[in-house]
Structure 1
Amino acid sequence: MPGPTEYEQDYIDACRSRIESQVAVFQEVARSARDHGDADVSALESALESLEYEYFNNMLIVLDGCFAERRRTTGAAADGGALDEVRVLARSLTANGGTVLADPAVPLDPTRSVLGLEVGAPVTLTLQQYRRISDAFLREIERRSSATQD
């Protein structure tokens, strides 16, 4: 049975709310660590940077998984939009050691993609990058879902 091509707005809103909550948790942990005056600042910043990459890379995989049942309309070409970008980046993280892979079925143009990552680049998402890609992704999910519900 094919997966859904649309999602209820309540589901999308719940996913967005979880994202906002998890981003807030990361920010609180980082703020608390920085406010702890005893730490070696350079070691702390390095650790927080590593945590940020791991955290938001994993959040991207979760985002992709929340909408794993999505599929392109039969015969539709990949458009290189945020849905395709998230799919390629999640696959790059899970199956290519965190390096952006070349996917002939989903060609991404770095000059037009949300994050501008090129094939072969490491996927090390910052909070700001994750916000940009997740916002674009959810807007595209909403747009496609509302178009099929009209």
Structure 2
Amino acid sequence: MLGVAEYEQDYIDACRSRVESQVATFAEVARAARDHGDADMTGLDGALESLEYEYFNNMLLVLDGYFVHRLPHVEGRDGNALNEVRVLARSLMENGGTLVADPQLPLDPARSVLGLRVGDPITLTSQQYRRISDAFLREIESRFARHNDR
């Protein structure tokens, strides 16, 4: 597939809707597990925490996948949320979930959405995923949305 310089706003909106649905689904499952009456809850919090990290790390890969063909020259190389997601996804897939440095896409932890440093484990919570996905989708709209006035 060729690189993509523009995405239809309807596509971006549909991706945003899927992201919101994925976050809501996890919250419903976690709530249902915690509200399960008199069942033995030993280990539940630890299991939910592990599930949360796995789920939202994988959802970050899905988020990146929705726009995987975005052109790097449109994305920029200024440490924006698009760069952050690209580096996080690469780190999850190729570096065992530990944030790796990318000399082409330098991330300043003080300016990044999640504030992670090279060498930090990537263990996304629901709240972190919301922050990074919101920032990512705003940046997609800003740089890649096809406007009808063209």
Name the TM-score, length of structure 2 as normaliser: 0.92
* Count of paired positions: 149
Cα drift, residue 5 of structure 1: 1.5
Counterpart of 1:17 in structure 2 is 17
Query: 1:12-31 CA deviation, whole Å, 9 max, x = no partner?
Result: 00000111111111011000
Cα drift, residue 77 of structure 1: 5.4
Cα drift, residue 37 of structure 1: 2.5
Query: 1:37-78 CA deviation, whole Å, 9 max, x = no partner?
Result: 33444510000000000000000000001100101228x851
Task: Write the mapping of 1:55-134 to structure 2, written as runs, cut at 5 A.
Answer: 55-73=55-73, 78-134=77-133
With over 3 angstroms needed to count, the CA separation of the structure-2 counterparts of 1:77 and 1:9, relative to structure 1, is closer
CA contact (8 A) 2:87 2:99 kept: yes
Alpha-carbon distance in 2 for matches of 1:133, 1:123: 13
For structure 2, which runs of at least 5 residues remain unmatched after alignment? none
Percent sequence identity is 71
CA contact (8 A) 2:113 2:131 kept: yes
CA contact (8 A) 1:80 1:107 kept: yes
CA contact (8 A) 2:92 2:98 kept: yes
Alpha-carbon distance in 2 for matches of 1:148, 1:88: 28
Alpha-carbon distance in 2 for matches of 1:77, 1:19: 23
Alpha-carbon distance in 1 for matches of 2:104, 2:114: 19
Counterpart of 2:33 in structure 1 is 33
Query: 1:89-108 CA deviation, whole Å, 9 max, x = no partner?
Result: 00000000000001111110
Segments of 4+ moved more than 6 angstroms: none
Query: 1:104-128 CA deviation, whole Å, 9 max, x = no partner?
Result: 1111000000000000000000000
SS of corresponding position for 1:113: coil
Alpha-carbon distance in 1 for matches of 2:83, 2:41: 38
CA contact (8 A) 2:9 2:146 kept: no
